[in-house]
Amino acid sequence: MKNIVLFGPPGAGKGTQAEFLKTKYNLIHISTGDVFRYNIKNETELGLLAKSYMDIGDLVPDEVTIDMLKAEVNDNPEANGFIFDGFPRTESQAESLDVFLKEKNTGINGMIALEVPENLLVERLLNRGKTSGRSDDQDENKIRNRFNEYETKTAILKHYYQNQNKYFGVDGVGSINDITVRLEQVIDKL
């Protein structure tokens, strides 16, 4: 199994790249943000709960998010591996993921981080907001809050995976294809 955490701040290009990588490596792509949005659209209990946090750019509580992630993984027992996109976002999520995968006799092969300067991220998100319909991409205050959540709760995960020798930084600036090639160079060695 190959399990990859695709990491980076909002707007780094995780979702875009995951679409290419999942086909090339035959992996299941789990985007926790997409799963939450799907639940909001379908007005499920989980969606109602997540909405209040997502609307202002706060993280959804760990317990809810971890349970949802586990259910997504368990729904794909035949998978060749997973691309985790937008998860883990806190140390507690990362620890739970390690324990959960270990129980399945597998683990994370590597965290690959897309590195993009903040001014470019804001530009990308506001542009995406024009077509995505995502309210959290249309308001600069919400974007700034998401960055703040990232800096205070998520960025530390770099050290979490560095301590396990599993962190790989990739330059996330350039054409989509150039960035895919950079990611593939890392994944091929995992």
State the DSSP code for 148: H
Cβ-Cβ contacts under 8 Å for 119 (sequence gap 6 or more): none
CB of 174 to ligand AMP, least distance (A): 21
Strand partners, 4: 83, 110
150 or 168, CB closer to ligand AMP? 150
Angle at CA of residue 94, ends 121 and 154, nearest 5°: 30
CB of 148 to ligand AMP, least distance (A): 11
10 or 110, CB closer to ligand AMP? 10
13 or 86, CB closer to ligand AMP? 86
What is the identity of the amino acid at 103?
A: E
54 or 187, CB closer to ligand AMP? 54
Contact positions vs ligand AMP (CB under 6 A): 10, 32-33, 36, 53-54, 57-60, 65, 86-87, 89, 93, 136, 146
CA distance linking residue 36 with residue 60, whole number of Å: 9
